[in-house]
Amino acid sequence: MATELKKIRLSTSPTDEALAALQIGDIVYLDGVVYTAREGVYKRVIEDGVDLPLDLPMASAANFHCSPAATQHDDGSFILGAVTATASFRFSKWIGAWLAASGAKLIIGKGGMNPEDYRDHFVPHGAIYLTTVGYGTGALLGRGVKAVCELHWRRELGLAQAMWVIEVKNFGPFIVESDRHGNSLFERENAKIAANIEAAYNGTKPAVLKRFGETDDRQDELI
């Protein structure tokens, strides 16, 4: 069926006005430069105190939680096939320090982050979260990559954790998961589903043997 969702083209160095206009559930396509950074880069910069290898956020304000399916040839050239995000909730412990260090305004990943991360870190830094779709539309995102501009820390972190700097055009789709006020699309959907979930459990019963830490509250999120 045709969807009524709003589709937006957004710069990877977005203006305040452009960020403020985004609403949760909007579909976004990016133009500009995106870099990958996940636990390897976060640890190296935040815990080990290594200087950033490029000028952020001048070069880009868009941090992608991604390891591309890519190869670097011996001559230094690249094949970059598919790109998809990795689950972001695991990076919670670094995200505040990272937003401060990098000036990132767009965090792009899989599955969003906790409401507390939005409230305590994203909102004060004026950042929003874009989630990939699917997951994942790796081939469609791969098509949006125009060039690999730089590859940093390939030797130190390996291909998957290295910092890939990529030029993108009409790169998407992404969905706005958190807005400038810290509202979360996933939280909204979780709440809607929770209202009806008990009906699905009719005719089932709890296991005879309980497990340590078990909860019967299905509104709890076990991530």
Partner 1 sequence: MITIERLQATAEELMRRAAIEIPEDYLTGLKTAAAAEDSDLSSFVLEAMLENYDAAKEDGRAMCGDTGCPRWYVKMGNEARVDGGPVALEAALRRATAKATSTVPLRPNRVHPLWRTDYDNNVGIGAPEIEYGFEPGGDWIDLTTVHKGGLFGTDYRMLFPSDGIQGIKRFFLDSLVAFGKRGLACQPAIIGIGLGGSKDACMVLGKRAACLRVVGDRNPDPKIAELEDEMKVLGNSIGMGAMGFVGKSMVIDCNIEIGFCHTGGMQMSVHAFCLSSRRAVARIYGDGRVEYRTNPEWFTDYQRRETVEWPQS
For partner 1, the binding residues (CB under 8 A) are 1, 3-5, 25, 27, 66-71, 79-87, 110-112, 131, 133-143, 158-161, 173, 175, 185-186, 189-190, 192-193, 196-197, 199-201, 203-209, 211, 218, 221-223
- Could you count the other beta carbons within 10 Å of the beta carbon of residue 89? 15
Nearer to partner 1, 17 or 73 (CB): 73
Nearer to partner 1, 16 or 156 (CB): 156
What six digits make up the tokens of 121? 């870190």
Cα 92 from Cα 175, distance rounded (Å): 20
Cα 109 from Cα 129, distance rounded (Å): 8
* Cis preceding-peptide flag for 57 (omega within 30 of 0): yes
Nearer to partner 1, 103 or 163 (CB): 163
* SS3 readout for 83-120: CCECEHHHHHHHHHHHHHHHCCCEEEEECCCCHHHHHH
Nearer to partner 1, 126 or 194 (CB): 194
Q: Which of 84, 139, 88 is nearest to 117 (CA)?
A: 88
Q: Shortest gap between Cβ of 148 and partner 1 (angstroms)? A: 12
Nearer to partner 1, 25 or 53 (CB): 25
Q: Shortest gap between Cβ of 177 and partner 1 (angstroms)? A: 9
Q: Shortest gap between Cβ of 67 and partner 1 (angstroms)? A: 6
Q: Shortest gap between Cβ of 15 and partner 1 (angstroms)? A: 26
SS3 (DSSP) at 137: coil
Q: Shortest gap between Cβ of 87 and partner 1 (angstroms)? A: 6
Cα 106 from Cα 155, distance rounded (Å): 27
